[in-house]
Amino acid sequence: ASAFYTFTVAATNAGGSGPTSTANFGSQTVSVGNATTLPWMMANGLDGSIWVSSGGLVSSTGGSPSTGVVQQLVKENGQWVAQSPIPVGLGAPSITVGQDGSIWVANAGNGTTPSTVQQIVQQAGAWVAQSPITVGILPTNITVGQDGSIWVVNAKSNTVQQIMNSGGTWTA
DSSP string of 92-138?
A: --EEEE-TTS-EEEEE-TTSSSEEEEEEEEEETTEEEEPPPEEEEES
* The pLDDT of residue 117 is above 50: yes
Where is pLDDT greater, at 5 or 98?
98
Eight-state DSSP code of residue 91: B
Position 159 pLDDT exceeds 90: yes
Q: Of the segments 2-6, 18-22, 36-40, 48-52, which one has the largest average pLDDT value?
A: 48-52
User: What pLDDT, on the 0 to 100 scale, is given for residue 15?
Assistant: 47
Q: What are phi and psi of 18, to 5 degrees?
A: 95, 175
pLDDT at 22: 39
Is 135 in contact with 172 (CB distance < 8 Å)?
yes
- Between residues 35 and 99, which one has the greater pLDDT? 99
- Statement: residue 95 has pLDDT above 90: yes
Q: State the pLDDT at residue 6.
A: 53
- Is-contact 44 59, C-beta < 8 A? no
Q: Residue 24 pLDDT > 80, yes or no?
A: no
**pLDDT of 4 over the 80 cut:** no
Report the C-alpha gap between 92 and 41 in whole angstroms. Answer: 8
**Is the pLDDT at 97 greater than 70, yes or no?**
yes
Contact status, residue 57 vs residue 51, Cβ threshold 8 Å: no
Among 90, 49, 48, 50, CA closest to 69: 90
Better-predicted residue by pLDDT, 100 or 1: 100
What single DSSP character describes residue 152?
E
Q: Does the pLDDT value for residue 51 go beyond 70?
A: yes
Q: Sorting pLDDT into bands at 50, 70 and 90, what band is 19?
A: very low
Which SS3 state, helix, strand or coil, does residue 21 take?
helix
